[in-house]
Homo-oligomer: A and B are copies of this chain.
Amino acid sequence: MTVDTIQPDLQSIPTPALTIDAAVVRDNIGRLSEYARRAGVGVRPHTKTHKLRHIARMQLEAGAIGLTAAKVSEAAAISDSGEDVLLAYPPIGRHRAEQLAELAKDRTVRAAVDSEAAVEMMADAALQTGATVGLLVDVNVGMDRTGVPTPADALRLAQAIDRSKGLRVDGIMIYPGHIYDPPTKQMTAIGAVNAIVEETLELWQRAGLEASIVSGGSTPTAYQSHLMPRVTEIRAGAYVFNDMNTVRCSYCAIENCAARVVATVVSDAISGQVVIDAGSKSLTRDPSSDPNAGFGYVVEFPEARISKLSEEHGQIDVSACSTRPRIGERLTVIPNHVCPCVNLHDSVWWIEANEAPREVRVDARGKVQ
């Protein structure tokens, strides 16, 4: 890898700072959009990655069929009246279901459910507001996080939705988040997912239920969507920025990473080490898919390894580097996992070519409810 140098514009902003390269974002959005058009699948980007209203609009303008959010407060912060938003999360809890039904008054709202309790809570809240909420039955395809365990369970739940006033059966949701293999090795796992989807849809058809939506995808499987013929839309999130986990699993290259933390070296007192002002409060402690890789990639010093993080200190082992960063020098770090990293920053710096960096508030940061 070539040694990069930091842009002159980024020498004056207070650090640590999360920067977003607008050209890379546009390129990432355009590439998935073009693939999806050719594959005949809709893109419903997961906005948890960027949390920026501005980027959500860029995605919609590039042809996204709607947005995805993880929590209802996030859905409210990121989507606008008249738009289409999916809560890829069970609407459990009075507050959550009620706020979702409230949103459904002026936009198309859907949620994913994997229990009769969720169906009942959502129906109660929808009836209160008079709005209709579309539900997708969350079917477990191997991630073992949420999702009904069998196609027969999915049918039973769809029938419960179908009996409920204020609700609409819209289809199924799958999350193949367990598939991390590089694209060339994904075939077996994708085949297993297809079999579950196929069996579920067959049962529904026999029971007279239509699944107009089969919501799937993730960044690792996004470009394999043409191998999942029943999937109608993909909920990729990380693709918009990318990160070291997407690089290390061969889904993209370093230059496709739009989000980078600029940090300053604040200490070199310990031999073979420098310390930057970005710790777990700026980068997160999310581990790398490569156990030897440390807590992010230092663009200017590819041989460096961020070996330890405390909240405000990033300890970088520079013993393998031919030259070493000096105190006060700025470094650029690509995080392991960009989604929780964005959540730590009140604002990001938006970088357009030939323009001064512009500070932009992260609209949906901290929306955990």
Q: Does A271 reach chain B (CB closer than 8 Å)?
A: yes
- Please give the count of copies of this chain that the complex contains: 2
- A 145-180 to B, binary, CB cutoff 8 A, 1 in contact else 0: 111110001000000000000000000000001000
Instruction: Point out the residues of chain B lying under 8 angstroms from A71, CB to CB.
Output: 277, 312
With contacts A266-B92, A269-B114, A280-B286 taken as known, whether A344 is within 8 angstroms of B328 at the C-beta atoms is no
Instruction: Point out the residues of chain B lying under 8 angstroms from A50, CB to CB.
Output: none
Q: Is the beta-carbon distance between A269 and B328 smaller than 8 angstroms?
A: no
With contacts A269-B146, A284-B285 taken as known, whether A339 is within 8 angstroms of B368 at the C-beta atoms is no
Q: Is the beta-carbon distance between B346 and A269 smaller than 8 angstroms?
A: no
Q: Does A223 reach chain B (CB closer than 8 Å)?
A: no
Q: Does A108 reach chain B (CB closer than 8 Å)?
A: no
Query: Which of A32-40, A115-123, A125-133, A228-236 is found at the contact surface with chain B?
Result: A115-123
Q: Number of A residues whose C-beta is below 8 Å from B? A: 64
Q: How far is the CA of A118 from the CA of B328 in the complex (A)?
A: 9
Q: How far is the CA of A345 from the CA of B147 in the complex (A)?
A: 28
Q: Is the beta-carbon distance between B267 and A146 smaller than 8 angstroms?
A: yes
Interchain Cβ contacts under 8 Å between A and B, 30 examples:
A14-B93, A15-B93, A15-B369, A70-B312, A92-B328, A93-B266, A96-B277, A115-B269, A118-B266, A145-B270, A145-B310, A146-B267, A146-B269, A146-B313, A147-B269, A149-B270, A153-B269, A277-B369, A280-B284, A280-B286, A280-B340, A281-B343, A281-B368, A284-B285, A285-B340, A311-B340, A343-B344, A345-B366, A345-B368, A346-B366
Instruction: Point out the residues of chain B lying under 8 angstroms from A95, CB to CB.
Output: 14-15
Question: Smallest CB-CB separation from A287: which chain B residue?
Answer: B285
- A 13-41 to B, binary, CB cutoff 8 A, 1 in contact else 0: 01111000000000000000000000000
Q: Does A200 reach chain B (CB closer than 8 Å)?
A: no
With contacts A115-B268, A147-B269 taken as known, whether A93 is within 8 angstroms of B328 at the C-beta atoms is yes
Q: Does A48 reach chain B (CB closer than 8 Å)?
A: yes
Interface residues in A44-78 by Cβ distance below 8 A to B read 48, 70-71
A363 to chain B, nearest CB (A): 13
Q: Does A221 reach chain B (CB closer than 8 Å)?
A: no
Instruction: Point out the residues of chain B lying under 8 angstroms from A245, CB to CB.
Output: none
Q: Which residues of A are at the interface with B, using a C-beta cutoff of 8 A?
A: 14-17, 48, 70-71, 89-90, 92-93, 95-96, 114-115, 117-118, 121, 138, 140, 144-149, 153, 177, 264-271, 273, 275, 277-278, 280-282, 284-287, 308, 310-313, 315, 327-328, 339-340, 343-346, 366, 368-369
Instruction: Point out the residues of chain B lying under 8 angstroms from A284, CB to CB.
Output: 280, 285
Q: Is the beta-carbon distance between A266 and B327 smaller than 8 angstroms?
A: no
Give the most central of A16, A144, A339: most B CB within 10 Å.
A144
Q: How far is the CA of A95 from the CA of B95 in the complex (A)?
A: 42
A153 to chain B, nearest CB (A): 8
Q: Is the beta-carbon distance between B90 and A267 smaller than 8 angstroms?
A: yes
